[in-house]
Each structure stands twice: as C-alpha cells, then as structure tokens.
Structure 1
Amino acid sequence: MAAAQPQAGVARVRPGALGWPSPAQWQGLRAQLGGRLVQLQSPWAACVAAPAGEECARLFRQVGNPYFISDDPALTQALGWVDAWTSAPSAYAVEARNSADVAAAVNFAREHRLRLVVKGGGHSYQGTSSAPGSLLVWTHGMRDIRLHDGFVPQGCAGRVAPTQAASLGAGALWVHAYDAVTTRGGRYVQGGGCMTVGVAGLVQSGGFGSFSKRFGTASGNLLEAEVVTADGVTRIANACTNPDLFWALKGGGGGSFGVVTRITVRTHELPETFGAVNFTVRADSAAAFRRLAAMTLDFYAASLMNPHWGEQIRFLPGHVMRVQMVFQGMERGEAVAVWQPFLDAIARLPDLSVDFAPLKIVSTSAREFWSPTFVKRALGFIKRDARPGAPEGNVYWPGDEGQAGQVLHGYASTWLPASLLQPAQRASLADALVAAAAQWGVSLHFNKGLAGAPPEAIAAARDTAMNPAALDAFALAISAAHGPAAYPGVAGHEPDIAVARQQAGRVRACMGELRKLVPKPGSYVSESDFFEPDWQHAFWGSHYERLLAVKTQYDPGGLFTVHHGVGSEAWSDDGFTRGA
C-alpha cells in the first residue's frame, strides 16, 4: 500500500518550490516512459498577449469542436465555471499508453509529493480534469476495444456465468464504444448520451445514457476494471477480486480511488429500432402552462414511465415546454400511438399550441443510431469533426455542441422520487415545475431515474456506490446556465461576471422550488453544483462512510484528490494542502 497517512498541514510541492523535481528527474521519468512526457503550456497565453490576433481567433473557433479539445492535454471540454474554477493546464502530462506508464506517473507523483490529475474525456463540470502545477495522467492514447463472447471476470471461474462483454481502454470515448459494439458488432452497450464523454469517467460517476431506463447505469453494467492504485500497483477489481475497490469504482466518483486503465462492461441484445419524439408546446398564460404541466405529469405516469422511454422534457420561461424524448424496443407506429392521446388533448385546448419543427416522431435502425450516415449528416441529425483529415468516426449530436468550450454560470440537479407522481402529490409537483420555470429552465431527465426500469437493472444499480435516491427516482431534474467560450484575461473575450452571477442565482432559485418537495435531496455527482452543501451525502447518500473506508484503505495518503471527491474534505480547495 501507499505511504503512511500524512499529518495535517502537509503540502504538495508546487512548481519552483523546494522539492519540485529537477530537470534531471523529469528527464529520468521521460526516459522511463519512452519519451511520452510533455511539458504543457496554456493555449490561452497567445490570446492574452494578442487578443485581436488571428491565432486567438482560430483558437476560439476551434474550442467549439469537442474533438479538438479532446486531442489537447492542455484543454478541457468546459473552459471553466465563473467564481469556481478556470481551465488551466498541468505542468507536465504523461501520455499513457498502458498501465505501466500510469504506474510510473503515480509512483513519481507520490515520491515527489506532486498534485496528480487524471484526464480521459475531460468532461468534468467540477474542473477535476485539470489543475495548474500538477502532473497529468492523460489516458487519451489508451483506446483499445475488444469484444467478448463469453467473458468471466478474473478469479470468478465457476462462480459467474460467462457473458457477452466489451473491454474498453480508459481513453476511449463512448463514440468509439458505440461504433465497435453497436454499429459493427450489433450489440448494445450502456454508455453516455453525449458521444464525446470518456468511458472510464462515466462508469466511475455512475453513468446514465439515453436508454438507462431499460439497460440500467454504466456502473451497474461494469464487470471488471483494471486500476493503478496509489502504491503504483496495477490491480484487477471485480466481484471476486478486490470487491470493495470494485464497488467503489462503480459510481464512487472518478479520480478518487486510483487511475482506471481498462473497463469491461456487459453488452446486451440490440433492439431493432431506436427513435425520437421532438416538439414544443407554448401556453398563452400561466394558468394554461400550469394545466399543461399537470397534463404532462399525468401522461408520463400513465404511459412513459417504463423501459421504452428516455431523455427529457423541459419546462422553460415564457410558458414553453419542449419535448426531447427517445424510445427503444418499439416501432414508430407504436410510438405515435402512445403520444396521440396527449397530442389530441393539447389540440382541444385553444390556449396551447404545438410546434413540431424540426422533428415530430422519427425512428431508425438501432444499429445505425450512432453511425454517421450520409442522410443523418445531410439532415443535420449528426455532426462530425470538420478538421482536415479527422477520422470519419469523430461525430457528435448537434445538441451537445454547446458543451464544447462553454463557461458554466450555474448548475444544479435533484432526483425526484416516484412518490411525487402519486395522485395526491402530483398537483404539488406541477405547481413546483411552473414556479421553477418562472425562475429558469428546468429539464426532467427521465432516463436518469430508474423508477420504471426492469428489476434486473435496478438490482444491478443497487449494487453500486451511487446515491440510492436514483433507484426510486422517476427523473433527475437539472437546471443550468452557461455562456459562450471565454477566458479570463483575454480582452474582449472575458466571461461576463455580472450576467453569470445573476444567472447562477436564478438556477439556485429554480432548483429550490423543486427541492422543497424532497426532504433530503440527492444530486448526481457528474451533473451537480460546484458549491453543493453536504456534497458527501448529496452525491452518495448512505454510502459515503463505506466509500471513505475504501478510500482510506487504498489511498491513505490522499494522492488522488479531486473537488468534492471522496476524502477531499481533508484537503484545501486547490488540493495542495492537507487541512488541520
């Protein structure tokens, strides 16, 4: 195991301080890694020096491309969060290709008391994919994917039946997994809705995708993980080998227990068809909007809270409701039949109007759902990396484009228990949704609550470290605000602080209306408030104490420290000093 737990006041070493590795020591690490150690510089330095220059203009254009960001170890998908954090590169990055590279980085960081950071997809809203003055383990190059017809976790022979599965390198994005497993392999794998999210980070946070109401969470589908722990040892974690560590990796939060280098996840039989339902309803008055909210909740409880349906319905300022749902396991005609009574009811009310642009109800072959076919590109259903020579598979949903290069202003989430859909409570929920939308937009992500999922999906999720509130929630409510690409110190391109703070206040007020209905609100760690109070129990509920025990066992020195990660309360906000 790692070195003994440090005493209060012990600090990590910063660049230029006494104890920072010498050039010769850095060169020794570089040699050990076969040259795969790079000293990082901020891409924004040129912008600060010449904000009106072409190089700066090019950078602002490029950060709207999630693959450009993913390919640069000095960048993160979000550029920061006003009053919380700003994306800034590590001092050095290890371009890991295997677990031995990761172990070398871990050992070097531990021996020299360095701040250590891990970046896969770089999608952390909490800013955990970057830390100035740190050593970065960049898993971008670890993208091997292997499909198994009969996988048995190590040490489980005779105890666990073989199952179809996929092993994914920690640097793979979910778009790579979908291409290998679904488009080419004809199987389903439970990943994230956003295609450019990293596979390892999603599993460690719990992991919801568009069809989680049917197939469960990503962590619930984890069969085995390869992980480098704080002592530099590469371990296998599964239900039979290091089961305590395995449980913690299933939703206990990325970057807290070790560096995951490979995951193996269960795959499922692929449905024939996936589809989507998109339309907008506008109400003429607050009273009509309240009636619409009540109608929608009635319809959801009766017809949609089942494994066929996922994604979201948004309640927005201005008395607007936007439906952005997906379905699986049914044909388009069946989906139309489900929605027709609701649409007919709206049509009978003169103070409600429906806008079907650009889509209404569509379906496609499930095997082609994530593939960049010509038709989907031509119709704008899917976008691709426009850089010259970019791989054909570098695609993403147009709706996710705004996440690339964004500056967050505010973010909050709350699981809504299915009990709120009981007839006696439904009116209060409708009132809360209308009150929330008067403050700021709120989305009900139905696929991020497991009420209505099959018993086996719920059972698998119960055996993870996620907050148990997700198990009986019918949705995760999310309210968020963000601004366009901006960076502090770049004249003419700086974040609008006043607007950000005003919007952050409205997000808090919006979510506050819903939290009045939930005595002990839980929040999804990957989509949560940077300033979440009592984050330990908001993120993990009754599991936190067990997670902390696993953390103490495998990382007693606190080498892996991230904002609001397990055990981080023992460290300063920047992760450099152990508190008193």
Structure 2
Amino acid sequence: MHRRDLLKAALALPLLPWAMSPTVAGARQALSAVGTWHSRVRPGQPGWPTSAQWDELSHAVGGRLQRLQSPFEHCGTGDAACQEALKQVRNPYYLGDTPSLTQTSGWADAWTSRPSVYAVAAENTSDVVAAVNFARKHHLRLVVKGGGHSYQGTSDAPDSLLIWTRHMNQIALHDAFVPQGCEGPARPAVTVEAGAMWVDAYNAVTTKAGRYVQGGGCMTVGVAGLVQSGGFGSFSKRFGTASGNLLEAEVVTADGKVHTVNACREPELFWAIKGGGGGSLGVVTRLTLLTHDLPDTFGAVFGSVQADSDQAYRALLAQTMRFYRDALFNPHWGEQLTFHGDNTLHLSMVFQGLSKQEAEQVWAPFFAWIKARNAYRFKNEVQVIAMPARHFWDAEFFRQHAPQLIVADSRPDAPPDRVLWAGDEGQVGQFIHGYRSAWLPQSLLDERRLDALAEAMFQATRHWGFSLHFNKGLAGAPADAIARSRDTAMNPGAMDAFALAITGSESKPAFPGMPGNTPNLERARQDKQGNDQCMDALLTVAPGAGSYVSESDYFERDWQTSFWGGNYPRLAAAKRRYDPEGLFFVRHGVGSEGWSDDGFTRLKPPV
C-alpha cells in the first residue's frame, strides 16, 4: 500500500495507544533512535541504482542477480511460461522454485503477490552479505524469501530487492555438537541452510538417519522462516517449538557482518531470532537444531461425526472437550479437531509413541458414547493408522501403502521425495479472505469453565467453522519442551495454551495476470465478517488471548502484544542494537511501527 506524505500524521495516530501501553512502555525508548534516512527508493526515483551499479552487484554475487517478472505477465499472448504457470499453480514446489511468485497469491484488501524488481539467487553467505550491503548503500526495500509460505506477504514486495535463499539447502548431521564458545554437553544435532524446506530436513534426519527434528507440519515450509516465527509441528506437544530446539545460527545483520550466535555468543540476537519473526532482525543463513530419539511409531486418527440437532451438537462439543482433557491432553497427541456450522466434528489427529491398538483403546470410550446415542452418525467412518516413525516422511513408503495421502511434484524432472500431504494442497496459491488465530488457555478445560467453552464454540460455529490445533499450544507438553520453548521470543501465552484456535476462508489462486481469476472481493469481505464473528465468539471466554505471528490476522490490532506479549520491549531493544537504521522491514514485524505499511516511508517515532 503506497502512502502519501500527507497521510503520515494520520498513520502515526494509531501508534499512540501502543506507545502509552504499560506492556510495551519499555520498547518506546528502544525504538526512539531512528535513522538518518527517511524513505526507500523506488525504480525511476533519484537514487535508484544505475544499470552499471546493478551490474556491479551481479558481478559480486557471481552472476546470480536475476531481473524478475511474473510468469503470468504475458498470458494473453499464449506465452509458454504462462501456460506452465497455470498448469503448476497448485504445485508448491513450482511456486517455491519461481522467485517471482509466492505460496499465497494475496489477501483481500491487504496485499497482492507482486515480484521484486531484482533477486539475488544466493548460494552462499557471501551472496547474502553483498545483497545486504547493496540494499543499505542504495536505500532499497529489502525482502527475504526462503520457503515463501507467508500468509502476511512478508516474503514479497514490489519495487524491492529480493534475497532468495532457495539454493542454500545443504544439510549436515552431527553426532555430538557443541555451540561455538560454549562448553558441553555435546548433543546430536543437524545443521540446515536457510533455503531448505522441512521435507529436506525430515528426509535427512528421520528417513535416512532415524532421528527426529522438530519442524513444521507442511513439508514445503522453509526451515529458516518457521524457526524465526516460533515453529510448531505435528508433534510439538512432545518436542516443543522449532525455535526452542535451535542451538546455533549464522545471521547477516544490517551492517553486512556475519554473526554466529548461540546462548553463549551474542545471546540477545540469538534469543530474538527464536520466534521474533523473520525478516526483521537480519538474514538467517544457517541453523543448527537439536535432534531427538525417534519414537517407534507415528500415527493418525481420521473421521467425522454429525449431530442431528443444535442441542445434540452442544452436547457433542462439551463431551469432545472433556474427552480431550481426560484422554488426549498429553505429549502423545497433536494436530486438530475441526468444528463446522452443519453440526459436524471432523477428526484429524496424530499421535506418537503409541501402537495402533493403544490409540484405538484411547478413543474407544468417546466412540462408545457416540454410538450409544441416536442423535449422532459417523459422516465418515473413523480410521486409525500407525506406522514406523521412520517412514512418516518417506515418499516411497506412502506410494506403496497409502498413495491417497500424498500429492507429488508433477514436473517431469522432480526428485522422487518431492511430495506434500494431500490435505495441504488446498492452501497452495490460495487467495485469503480472512484469517484469525488465538491461543486458548488451559484453564478453560477446568470443569467449572468447560461448559462455557463448549457454548462459545457452538456460538462460533453459527458464524463460521474453526479448528483447534492442539500441537500449537504447549500446555500438557513435558517440562523440558516447555522450558526450551519458553526461552524464545514468542508470546509466553503459548506455553499455557492447550490449543491454538484458527478460523479462515480463502478462494482459488488469484495471481495478478491470471486469466479469469479475478477474486470476488464482495464475497471475500462477507467471508471475513464471518471469520471475525466466529473468533469474537470464541474470545468471549478468552479475552486478550495472543495470536501466532505466522497464522494471524493481517489487520491484527495491538499486534506487538498479541504476537509477543511482554517480550516485545526486549525484541525492540535487539532491533535497535542490530538494525538501528531499519534496513529490515516486514509489516507488523519488530520495529515496523516506525514505517508506513509498505515499508517505504519512515514515520515519526512513537511519543
């Protein structure tokens, strides 16, 4: 969104309540020292680099500077690139391999996927350093893209220079790793470069080496982006967040210096990148993560139940939450239950460390309760599956035993391990209408509050469906997993939450230039209203609940507190120390209140 100078004062007004908030009062001083330059340069403006200067950057990065253009730009001419893009628009591997595109095509009344002017296709840290120095010298808008899964559009910005880390994807395993400058104990770990996806990490660590690394549930999410946002995966209820398992990282800061950070060396920068949000504090180029003993089994429970009346659905909701509290609120269980407005409950749970028989025994009382009542029917019969944990991300295993659960990269030269969960295909290229999340505190599971929770859930479904992601709230996890995750920048409310509630709506891909795919904004706004009403109903029993920065509302109010709680002043201090000029910008990222929404115009500091 381009802001004109005359709007600066109006844009600064919403900052005043935040600036006066006691929660973030300590951050005001940290953000008050603004830099000396007041706007970033766009193409065609004085100061935009000359062709000769771009050539110098290209030479510095070994010819890996690319001029970007969307493959949809020339669709009206029968262009081959457009035809391939239309064919692959639901393929996340294609989108990730195309630096001019993003995994989400946009958000109604918020942002639209548009490519940067140039991209440095970085292959090493030196390439990243050269790009950072060039952007700082010429006052450019700088964007970083790894996996590119940002719903908020943080890996995307027109008129910018993109650092694209996709080709930095080397992985190395360690039997005994000690962070630099620290003293033992040595622990098993894996070092992953910033451009790797979780499918790469899981293949190396689990399928081939028989160990576990805490990563994301979607295989095409970028490793670096997930860790910097906090990082939940299907089994976080057992192993904590990805950021909590970070042992060491390499970071390029705004001055072009390369830092190796850990708990012993530059601990504040290390802490800040663990959940402080990607793209705000530096460019993370390499990460070393703790690995764990692999459980014997991973498994899943699928199915759906429908009630024949609103009264029966109310009873089902209450029974479901009591069953969760008594049987599933422990490190064995993760993923989600989804609640729909047609009085349907959808099961999509995973488990670890249990056999198929043990998992069936856990669920038997709940299913017996349903079968004993005529008010319910199984809309989809329940399936319980279990497998050796080593095969959970093994593409060949699924091709042989459960091909319906995966979708392959359809390009003819695609490596055989390039698959994604079939359930994730719907979000590829999506155009978002609305999206909100909230951490629900475990106190809601107390018997004295559980009926009120169930009623709020019922009222929410009258407006829109929602899911409870139990693996994205760490209450019920082992003490060591919670302790690791608490020592990160993410909102401490996640440690006391039994689940993250999510509601959202979307439509098919709508990249600019796609023929016939203009989004229906009237419908999108109606859907968003339903999403908002749904979440507002849930929040009647959890007022002030925080939101997960990676899965949140683009229009989040009081986002500093919502995303980071009491940790925001400390994050703001780290921003001031490592990026005082504000080179790194993402909307609603640390320090972004000092800039216009598009990151091009500096505003007055909070007062």
Check if 1:372 corresponds to 2:401. no
Q: Is the 8 A contact 2:113 2:512 kept in 1?
A: no
- Residue 447 of structure 2 corresponds to 423
Which residue of 140, 158, 180 maps to 2:166? Answer: 140
Deviations 1:458-501 (A, max 9, x none): 01111000100000100000001000012345452111111111
Which residue of 449, 460, 467 maps to 1:443? Answer: 467
Alpha-carbon distance in structure 1 between the residues aligned to 2:195 and 2:570: 28
- Residue 383 of structure 2 corresponds to 360
Check if 1:516 corresponds to 2:545. no
The secondary structure found in structure 2 opposite 1:161 is coil
Alpha-carbon distance in structure 2 between the residues aligned to 1:19 and 1:53: 34
Distance 1:502 1:57, change over 3 A: farther
Which residue of 226, 229, 247 maps to 1:223? Answer: 247
Q: Is the 8 A contact 1:383 1:397 kept in 2?
A: yes
Q: 1:70-149, aligned counterparts within 5 Å?
A: 70-149=96-175
The secondary structure found in structure 2 opposite 1:485 is coil
Which residue of 29, 34, 37 maps to 2:57? Answer: 29
The secondary structure found in structure 1 opposite 2:180 is coil
- Residue 26 of structure 2 corresponds to none
Alpha-carbon distance in structure 2 between the residues aligned to 1:58 and 1:142: 25
Q: Which amino acid aligns with 2:573?
A: A
Q: 1:127-526, aligned counterparts within 5 Å?
A: 127-156=153-182, 158=183, 160-357=184-381, 360-373=383-396, 375-376=398-399, 379-488=403-512, 490-526=514-550
Check if 1:40 corresponds to 2:64. no
The secondary structure found in structure 1 opposite 2:395 is coil
Q: Is the 8 A contact 1:297 1:421 kept in 2?
A: yes
Q: What is the aligned-residue identity percentage?
A: 58
Q: Which amino acid aligns with 1:229?
A: T
Q: Which amino acid aligns with 2:155?
A: S
Q: Is the 8 A contact 2:396 2:417 kept in 1?
A: no
Alpha-carbon distance in structure 2 between the residues aligned to 1:240 and 1:137: 28
Q: What's the TM-score, normalizing by structure 2?
A: 0.92
Deviations 1:238-272 (A, max 9, x none): 00001000000100000000000000000000001
Distance 1:375 1:490, change over 3 A: closer
Alpha-carbon distance in structure 1 between the residues aligned to 2:66 and 2:513: 25
Which residue of 26, 35, 41 maps to 1:6? Answer: 35
Aligned-pair CA distance for 1:356: 3.6
For structure 2, list consecutive stretches of 5 or more residues without a partner in the other structure: 1-32
For structure 1, list consecutive stretches of 5 or more residues without a partner in the other structure: none
- Residue 527 of structure 1 corresponds to 551
The secondary structure found in structure 2 opposite 1:523 is coil
Alpha-carbon distance in structure 1 between the residues aligned to 2:296 and 2:312: 39
Range that drifts further, 512-521 or 551-560? 512-521
Q: Is the 8 A contact 2:135 2:142 kept in 1?
A: yes
Q: Is the 8 A contact 2:71 2:82 kept in 1?
A: no
Aligned-pair CA distance for 1:57: 4.9
Q: 1:50-61, aligned counterparts within 5 Å?
A: 50=77, 56-61=82-87
Q: Is the 8 A contact 2:72 2:512 kept in 1?
A: no
The secondary structure found in structure 2 opposite 1:73 is coil
Q: Is the 8 A contact 1:60 1:485 kept in 2?
A: no
Q: Is the 8 A contact 1:488 1:495 kept in 2?
A: no
Check if 1:571 corresponds to 2:595. yes
Q: What's the TM-score, normalizing by structure 1?
A: 0.97
Alpha-carbon distance in structure 2 between the residues aligned to 1:262 and 1:218: 14
Q: Is the 8 A contact 2:356 2:385 kept in 1?
A: yes
Q: Which amino acid aligns with 1:437?
A: T
Alpha-carbon distance in structure 1 between the residues aligned to 2:149 and 2:236: 20
Aligned-pair CA distance for 1:355: 3.2
Query: Paired residues, what number?
Result: 571
Alpha-carbon distance in structure 2 between the residues aligned to 1:340 and 1:37: 59
Aligned-pair CA distance for 1:386: 1.1
Aligned-pair CA distance for 1:316: 0.7
Alpha-carbon distance in structure 1 between the residues aligned to 2:461 and 2:399: 33
Q: Is the 8 A contact 1:487 1:495 kept in 2?
A: no
Alpha-carbon distance in structure 2 between the residues aligned to 1:221 and 1:263: 10
The secondary structure found in structure 1 opposite 2:404 is coil
Deviations 1:98-143 (A, max 9, x none): 1111000000000000000000000000000110010000000100
Aligned-pair CA distance for 1:340: 0.4
Alpha-carbon distance in structure 1 between the residues aligned to 2:488 and 2:447: 31
Structural RMSD (CA)? 1.3
